[in-house]
Structure 1
Amino acid sequence: MRSDPSSGFPGDPTPNAGRGEPPHALLVCGLGALGQACLQRLQGFGVPLTGCDLRRPMWRSPELEQEFGERLVFGDMRQAAVLRRAGVEHCRAVLLLSQDSQVNLEAALQVRLLNPEAEVVVRASGQEQGLGQLLEQRLPNLAVVNPLMLTAAALAASLHPDAAVTQLTTASGNGSVVLLAGGDEPASGPHRRLRTPEHAGEPLHIALHNGPGRAQADPRPKEPLPWQRLQRWEGWSALRRRPISRPMAAAAIVLISALALGVALFSEQGQWRRGLVVTLGLLQGEYIDPLNLLSRATELQLSLGLLYALLGTVLTSCLVALILERLLSNRLGLQRPQRPRRGSRQVLLMEAGDIAEPLAALLSAQGIGVQHGGLQDGLAGVRQRLHSLRHTELVGIAALSNNLLTNMQAVLEVQQHHPRARLAVLAHAMAASDQLGTLLGGITVISGMDIAADAVVATAFGERVERVVRVRGEHHLVVRYQLTPNDPLTGHTVARLENGYGLNVLTLQRSRSGQLTAIPPLEWQVHAGDELTVLANLRSLQRVEAGQMSPPAWRVELRGTAGRQDGFVVQQVLARFLGLPPGALLNWLDGQWQQTDALDQDVAELLARELQRYRIDCRVVPWQR
Structure 2
Amino acid sequence: MVFVAKTLLEDDADAERDPIVTPQLQHPSKPEKAMFIVCGLGSIGQNCVAVLHQYGAKVIAIELNQTIDWELPNLAESVETVHIGDCRKANVLESAGIHHCRGVLLVTDNERTNTEAAFAARLLNPNVRLVVRSSKQNLNQLLSKNLGSFVAFEPIDLSASAFAFAALGSDVPGFFKLEDQWLRVVNREIRQDDRWRDRRQLKDLTTSSRRVLLHLSAAAPSSQQFYSWDADATLMAGDTVVYIELLDRLVGYSPQLSPESQQQIKPTTQQRQSQKTSAASSQRRRVFRHLRFPILNGNIKQKLIQFWQSTAQYQTRRVAIICGLAVSVLWCLGIVLYRLHYPQISLAEAFYAPVVLLLGGYGDLFGGVRFVSEPPPAEEVPWGLRLFSLGLTLAGTAFVGVLYALLTEALLTAKFQFKNRPPIPKQNHVVIIGLGRVGQRIAAILQDLKQPVVGIDSTALESSILPQMPMVVGNISEALTQVNLAQAQTTVVVLGDDMENLEIGLMVHAANPHNELVIRTQDQLFSNNVAQLFPYAQVLCAPVLSAEVFAAAAYGENILSLFHLNHQTILVTEYTIEPEDTLNGLLLAEVAYGFDVVPVLHQRSQSSPNLLPSDDVRLEAGDRLILLASTQSLQRIEHAELKPPGWQVQVTQALNQDAIFEGANEITRISGCSISTARQIMISLPALVPTPLYKHQAQRLIRNLQKARVTAHLMPLQDGLPSLQE
TM-score range, shorter chain: 0.7 to 0.9
The AA in structure 2 aligned to 1:424 is V
Q: Give 3-state SS (helix, strand or coil) of 1:469's partner.
A: strand
| 1:246 to 2:269 alignment | yes
Which of 676, 685, 700 is 1:592 aligned to? 685
Task: Check conservation: 2:439, 2:494, Cα contact below 8 A.
Answer: no
Q: Map Cα deviations across residues 344-385 of structure 1 (whole Å, 9 max, x no partner).
A: 533222223112343123312333222222257999712432
The AA in structure 2 aligned to 1:488 is T
Cα shift at 1:335: 7.6
2:614 equivalent in structure 1: 521
2:163 equivalent in structure 1: 155
Q: Map Cα deviations across residues 421-444 of structure 1 (whole Å, 9 max, x no partner).
A: 222211023345244123124222
| 1:497 to 2:520 alignment | no
Cα shift at 1:391: 9.5
| 1:180 to 2:187 alignment | yes
Q: Give 3-state SS (helix, strand or coil) of 1:558's partner.
A: strand
Task: Check conservation: 2:563, 2:571, Cα contact below 8 A.
Answer: yes
Alignment of 1:131-530 (within 5 A): 131-161=139-169, 163-170=170-177, 175-182=182-189, 185=202, 186=205, 189-194=208-213, 196-197=224-225, 202=239, 204-210=241-247, 243=266, 245-246=268-269, 336-340=419-423, 343-375=426-458, 381-390=475-484, 393-513=487-607, 515-530=608-623
2-structure distance, mates of 1:145, 1:3: 27
Relative to structure 1, is the Cα distance of residues 8 and 397 closer, same or farther in structure 2, using a 3 angstrom cutoff? farther
Q: Map Cα deviations across residues 501-539 of structure 1 (whole Å, 9 max, x no partner).
A: 1112222222231x2222212222222222222122221
Q: Give 3-state SS (helix, strand or coil) of 2:592's partner.
A: helix
Cα shift at 1:415: 2.1
Q: Give 3-state SS (helix, strand or coil) of 2:572's partner.
A: strand
The AA in structure 1 aligned to 2:247 is N
| 1:122 to 2:122 alignment | no
Cα shift at 1:47: 2.7
Relative to structure 1, is the Cα distance of residues 390 and 60 closer, same or farther in structure 2, using a 3 angstrom cutoff? closer
1:84 equivalent in structure 2: 94
Task: Check conservation: 1:427, 1:447, Cα contact below 8 A.
Answer: yes
Cα shift at 1:543: 1.1
The AA in structure 1 aligned to 2:686 is W
The AA in structure 2 aligned to 1:540 is S
1:570 equivalent in structure 2: 663
Task: Check conservation: 2:424, 2:483, Cα contact below 8 A.
Answer: no
2-structure distance, mates of 1:67, 1:359: 33
Q: Give 3-state SS (helix, strand or coil) of 1:552's partner.
A: coil
Task: Check conservation: 2:93, 2:121, Cα contact below 8 A.
Answer: yes
Q: Map Cα deviations across residues 64-91 of structure 1 (whole Å, 9 max, x no partner).
A: 33454x7222211111121111111221
Q: Give 3-state SS (helix, strand or coil) of 1:481's partner.
A: strand
| 1:54 to 2:64 alignment | yes
After superposing the two structures, state which structure 1 stretch, 111-120 or 137-146, moved more.
Answer: 137-146
The AA in structure 2 aligned to 1:390 is N
The AA in structure 2 aligned to 1:152 is A
The AA in structure 1 aligned to 2:657 is R
2-structure distance, mates of 1:2, 1:243: 60
| 1:101 to 2:111 alignment | yes
1:295 equivalent in structure 2: none
1:602 equivalent in structure 2: 696
2-structure distance, mates of 1:329, 1:375: 18
Quick one: higher RCO (CA 8 Å, sep 6+), 1 or 2? 2
2-structure distance, mates of 1:578, 1:614: 16
Which of 30, 33, 40 is 2:40 aligned to? 30
The AA in structure 2 aligned to 1:576 is R
Q: Map Cα deviations across residues 470-508 of structure 1 (whole Å, 9 max, x no partner).
A: 221122222111211111012111111122111122222
When the two chains are superposed, the root-mean-square deviation of aligned CA atoms in Å is 3.4
How many residue pairs match? The answer is: 507
2-structure distance, mates of 1:182, 1:249: 39
Where does structure 1 lack aligned partners over 5 or more consecutive residues? Answer: 14-23, 215-239, 251-324
2:464 equivalent in structure 1: none
Percent identity between the aligned chains?
A: 24
Task: Check conservation: 1:167, 1:179, Cα contact below 8 A.
Answer: yes
After superposing the two structures, state which structure 1 stretch, 470-479 or 187-196, moved more.
Answer: 187-196
Task: Check conservation: 1:503, 1:535, Cα contact below 8 A.
Answer: yes
1-structure distance, mates of 2:142, 2:585: 33
Relative to structure 1, is the Cα distance of residues 562 and 67 closer, same or farther in structure 2, using a 3 angstrom cutoff? closer
Where does structure 2 lack aligned partners over 5 or more consecutive residues? Answer: 5-25, 191-195, 197-201, 215-223, 230-237, 252-262, 274-407, 461-471, 721-726
Q: Give 3-state SS (helix, strand or coil) of 2:520's partner.
A: strand
2-structure distance, mates of 1:437, 1:337: 39
1:613 equivalent in structure 2: 707
The AA in structure 2 aligned to 1:546 is H
Task: Check conservation: 1:352, 1:399, Cα contact below 8 A.
Answer: no
1-structure distance, mates of 2:46, 2:271: 58
1-structure distance, mates of 2:175, 2:168: 14
Relative to structure 1, is the Cα distance of residues 352 and 213 closer, same or farther in structure 2, using a 3 angstrom cutoff? closer
2:76 equivalent in structure 1: 65
Cα shift at 1:114: 1.4
Task: Check conservation: 1:426, 1:447, Cα contact below 8 A.
Answer: yes
Cα shift at 1:565: 3.6
2-structure distance, mates of 1:81, 1:591: 70
1-structure distance, mates of 2:576, 2:126: 20
Q: Give 3-state SS (helix, strand or coil) of 1:484's partner.
A: coil
Task: Check conservation: 1:481, 1:532, Cα contact below 8 A.
Answer: yes
1-structure distance, mates of 2:547, 2:428: 33
Q: Give 3-state SS (helix, strand or coil) of 1:90's partner.
A: coil
Task: Check conservation: 2:208, 2:612, Cα contact below 8 A.
Answer: no
1-structure distance, mates of 2:95, 2:504: 48
2-structure distance, mates of 1:619, 1:451: 44
Relative to structure 1, is the Cα distance of residues 573 and 362 closer, same or farther in structure 2, using a 3 angstrom cutoff? same
1:40 equivalent in structure 2: 50
After superposing the two structures, state which structure 1 stretch, 538-547 or 521-530, moved more.
Answer: 521-530
Q: Give 3-state SS (helix, strand or coil) of 2:636's partner.
A: helix
The AA in structure 1 aligned to 2:172 is V
2-structure distance, mates of 1:207, 1:30: 37
Cα shift at 1:548: 1.0
The AA in structure 2 aligned to 1:110 is A
1-structure distance, mates of 2:428, 2:498: 27
Relative to structure 1, is the Cα distance of residues 85 and 149 closer, same or farther in structure 2, using a 3 angstrom cutoff? same
1:322 equivalent in structure 2: none
Q: Give 3-state SS (helix, strand or coil) of 1:492's partner.
A: coil
1:536 equivalent in structure 2: 629
The AA in structure 1 aligned to 2:694 is D
Cα shift at 1:188: 6.1
TM-score (norm 2): 0.64
Q: Map Cα deviations across residues 13-69 of structure 1 (whole Å, 9 max, x no partner).
A: 6xxxxxxxxxx321111112221222122223333221111122222346333454x
Task: Check conservation: 2:206, 2:212, Cα contact below 8 A.
Answer: no
2-structure distance, mates of 1:591, 1:66: 60
Cα shift at 1:212: 6.3
Q: Give 3-state SS (helix, strand or coil) of 1:91's partner.
A: coil
Task: Check conservation: 1:507, 1:518, Cα contact below 8 A.
Answer: yes
2-structure distance, mates of 1:206, 1:492: 24
